[in-house]
Amino acid sequence: MGPYSQAIRAGQFLFVAGQGPADPKTGSMATDIENQTRQTLQNVKAIVEASGYSLGDVVKTSIFLKNGGDFQKVNEVYKTFFESNPPARTTIEAKFVAPNMLIEIDAIAYRD
């Protein structure tokens, strides 16, 4: 999709690039915010785990939403991935290049 790395380790930090809701196997995207959020977080989780970290190591996320009105629906899905000690978070309303994309999430993980 462009000249970037999905994740970069810097010391004990892992910086995960913004991930969208495309299913990595099919390239398809759900049309509703709940399923797009779930897929986006699964994509973040896969990169974090492939790098030897876990979602419990995530200390910061940034969420970019096409529609700020989806905030509560996103929270309902988000809390199932971060059940205890959720990371610090920023949520921003944004415009995406892909017209059917409703969400993007990036993450920073840290491990001692």
Q: Where are the domains of the chain?
A: 7-110
Fold of 7-110: 60s Ribosomal Protein L30; Chain: A; (3.30.1330)
Alpha helices in 11-90, H assignment, sequence order: 33-50, 71-81
Kindly state the average pLDDT of the residues 84-96: 96
Distance CA 110, CA 11 (A): 9
Statement: residue 102 has pLDDT above 70: yes
Residue 67's alpha-carbon distances to 31, 82, 96, in angstroms, are 13, 22, 11
Give pLDDT, residue 1: 60
Residue 7's alpha-carbon distances to 2, 18, 23, 37, 43, in angstroms, are 14, 9, 18, 19, 12
pTM comes to: 0.95
| Residue 43, token pair as written in the block | 């994509």
Kindly state the average pLDDT of the residues 31-53: 98
Per-residue pLDDT tens for 11-28? 999 999 999 999 999 999
> Residue for token digits 């994309």?
101
